[in-house]
Amino acid sequence: MFRFPVDLSDDEGTVLVRFPDIPEAITFGEDRDEALMRAVDALESALMIYIDRRLPIPKSSPARGRPFVSPCALSVAKLAVHQAMVEQGVRKADLARRLGCHLPQVDRLLDLNHASKLDQIERALSSLGLLLHVETSKAA
């Protein structure tokens, strides 16, 4: 979930990273590893635009041999809250009422730069009729 393929290209000694599904996310690095490391930050910054504008997160296109980049695990959980809110037509104020909290707390819950506690995200997902499942796999 929320894994996006990237296009890598050599641009005069730097590696340029573009996300076909998230055109707002563009970054670069001196080599492939650095470019992919920076790509996570570029992706999360671009996804904040979707959250701020209350837009659905675009679906990921097939890899077709391209590498994938994912937000960090906490951001993925926050994106799941956002996506459920968009799909269900739940506003921030509605979620705040469901959780018995104030609107600034919901804003922080959806802020990919804020270190929310996982139990808060689980409560938000539960109030939206969802469960959070955590899974691990071998690194590529």
What does the pLDDT look like over 70-95, one tens digit per residue?
999 999 999 999 999 999 999 999 99
- Asked if residues 23 and 47 have their Cβ atoms less than 8 Å apart, the reply is no
Gap between the Cα atoms of 95 and 102, Å rounded: 9
Mean pLDDT by 10 residues, the chain (140 residues): 93 92 96 95 97 96 93 96 98 97 97 96 98 86
pLDDT value of position 2 = 93
Pair of tokens at residue 4: 């996006």
Query: Where is 122: in which H helix or E strand?
Result: helix 118-127
Bridge-based pairing state of the strands 4-5 and 68-69: antiparallel
CB-count exposure of residue 12 (10 Å: 0-12, 13-18, 19+): exposed
Gap between the Cα atoms of 12 and 52, Å rounded: 34
pLDDT value of position 1 = 80
Gap between the Cα atoms of 23 and 31, Å rounded: 21
Helices 103-110 + 92-99 axis angle, to 10: 110
pLDDT value of position 11 = 77
pLDDT value of position 37 = 95
Q: Could you give the C-alpha distances from 135 to 1, 36, 73, 138, in angstroms and in order?
A: 11, 22, 10, 11
Pair of tokens at residue 20: 């076909």
